Amino acid sequence: MWKAGSMSAELGIGFALRAVNERVQQAVARRPRDLPAIQPRLVAVSKTKPADMVIEAYSHGQRTFGENYVQELLEKASNPQILSSCPEIKWHFIGHLQKQNVNKLMAVPNLSMLETVDSVKLADKVNSAWQKKGSPERLKVMVQINTSGEASKHGLPPAEMAALVEHINAKCPSLEFVGLMTIGSFGHDLSQGPNPDFQVLLSLREELCRKLGAPPEQVELSMGMSVDFQHAVSISRVPSGACRTGPKATPRRRIEAPRGSVSHLR
């Protein structure tokens, strides 16, 4: 988790948001010139942060927020002050989702995306629960891939990616598949070259697009953490990527880009 330090703590959330966005733009400027100039979007990871900090970030233009835990997300998203002060807020769930918590997650107001679908059973349960909710819009979902192969990481093996995506597209009419997500291994020395886990996700996207006959801009990618999000953006030929950061006294952040962009940071 990136720490912005005492300056961010003293100057507040607005300063921290501007600082992260500046780092994003620096990374965008380093991308190959043949990539489309579509701007990433920031997802503020508000885990453990109080409602007033979410509201302050919203007042500075932030609209999309991410949470790791279902109960915390439900309580925060249902907060009367957030509901009244943040009418355009969008929530992403970015933590591991246990099947027994699916119905609770579906009750979250303004839930926009689930980024951690990692099995057919989970996809089916989420699809059924969202269908019962009667929402006029499909729930956006990402498939989580364990690119590093670490037992401590959630996500399905790369070899199972295409089958799960095809299942969601064919059997889950209440879900909208929008992309792939990975955390990847920590501590990669960037002086030794690109993070191999990022390269795996890039290759998986290319494989999936060939199989589905879909253009790359229709598959977002979410990859990286605070220490490497600039690297993820600068090397990516992807529509979306993600990077988590966590300056003191501000919401942790993650960055995403809409479909059609080149990197979705977390």
- Is the pLDDT assigned to residue 158 strictly greater than 50? yes
Q: What is the C-alpha to C-alpha distance for residues 250 and 253, in angstroms, rounded to an integer? A: 9
- Is the pLDDT assigned to residue 9 strictly greater than 60? no
The CATH topology of domain 6-27+39-163+170-256 is TIM Barrel (3.20.20)
**Average model confidence (pLDDT) for the chain?**
79
In tens, the pLDDT along 200-238 reads 888 898 999 999 998 887 888 887 555 445 444 444 443
Output the pLDDT for position 192. 63
Contact call for residues 144 and 181 (beta carbons, < 8 A): yes
In tens, the pLDDT along 252-264 reads 444 443 343 333 3
* Predicted confidence band of residue 4 (pLDDT cuts 50, 70, 90): very low
- Is the pLDDT assigned to residue 136 strictly greater than 90? yes
Output the pLDDT for position 34. 61
* Predicted confidence band of residue 179 (pLDDT cuts 50, 70, 90): very high
End-to-end CA distance of the chain: 11
Tokens linked to 66: 């991410």
Output the pLDDT for position 110. 98
Q: What is the C-alpha to C-alpha distance for residues 11 and 233, in angstroms, rounded to an integer? A: 27
> Any idea which of 136-140, 150-154, 186-190 has the lowest mean pLDDT?
186-190
Between the CA of residue 201 and those of 13, 50, 55, 94, 241, what are the distances in Å? Answer: 32, 34, 34, 17, 10
Better pLDDT: 235 or 57: 57
Kindly list the domain boundaries of the chain, sorted by start residue. Answer: 6-27+39-163+170-256
Q: What is the C-alpha to C-alpha distance for residues 264 and 3, in angstroms, rounded to an integer? A: 20
Average pLDDT over residues 243-259: 41
Numbers of helices and strands, H then E, in the chain = 10, 8
In tens, the pLDDT along 38-56 reads 566 677 888 899 999 999 9
What is the value of pTM for the model shown? 0.81
Q: What is the C-alpha to C-alpha distance for residues 149 and 120, in angstroms, rounded to an integer? A: 19
Q: Is 243 exposed, middle or buried (0-12, 13-18, 19+ CB in 10 A)?
A: buried
Better pLDDT: 174 or 12: 174
Output the pLDDT for position 246. 40
